[in-house]
Chains A and B, each alone.
Chain A
Amino acid sequence: MHYQGGLTHQYWFVSVGKCSVIKCVQLECMNSNSMFFHLSLLDYNPKNGSLSDQLVSNNGDTELVMNTVIYCFRDFLSLFPNARITFTGNSPARDRLFKMWISKLNQEVLTDLLIVLDHLDDGGIIFYVSKKRVNLNHP
């Protein structure tokens, strides 16, 4: 389920594992003049109606959640082909998990996306995503 409010976009979905958790992929414009967006993967807390990046739902469906995030990249970049997306995990461990996931998919599935990693001194990783450009000068 996609929602756009101003320069912010949200993709809502339900993570169905050990229990059902409502999640939100939120893309916020980082600069009102640009197509640079920051992505957050958030859990919806039904108790107080807030979005949190702190809840560790540990719902046993990491693969599905990762695939949904990839789906969001694709959908968003098809709507806004010139957009650039950046994100980072909640911890270096999460960053490594996402890096492994990307490496696993990269060869076959992510042929249309350019994903660049920027390693931080503390072990964290900043990820950058854009649509791959087609070079029309090449046959």
Chain B
Amino acid sequence: MKSKEKNKTDFSAALQAAMEKAKDQPSPKLKKVEHLIPRMMDGLMALDQLS
């Protein structure tokens, strides 16, 4: 039980540290799909008609 609690604390500290380091980084993925953005925007607008 104590070990589980310790893991939780460790994860929480690790997450906090990671978030502090990487919180303002742009997504490398978004850069890669730049060519798809016009199609994605069209698709997102079309969602209004379906929802």
A binds B: yes
The CA-CA distance from A44 to B23 in the complex, in Å, is 11
- Expressed in whole angstroms, the minimum distance between the Cβ of B9 and any Cβ of chain A is 12
In contact, B22 and A128 (Cβ under 8 angstroms): no
A38 at the interface (CB under 8 A from B): yes
Q: B: which residues have CB within 8 A of A? A: 11-12, 14-16, 18-19, 21-30, 32-33, 36-37, 39-41, 43-44, 46-47, 50-51
21 contacts between A and B (CB under 8 A): A1-B15, A20-B11, A30-B40, A36-B44, A40-B27, A40-B28, A40-B30, A51-B27, A53-B28, A53-B29, A84-B47, A86-B40, A114-B47, A114-B50, A116-B50, A118-B43, A120-B36, A126-B36, A126-B40, A130-B51, A132-B51
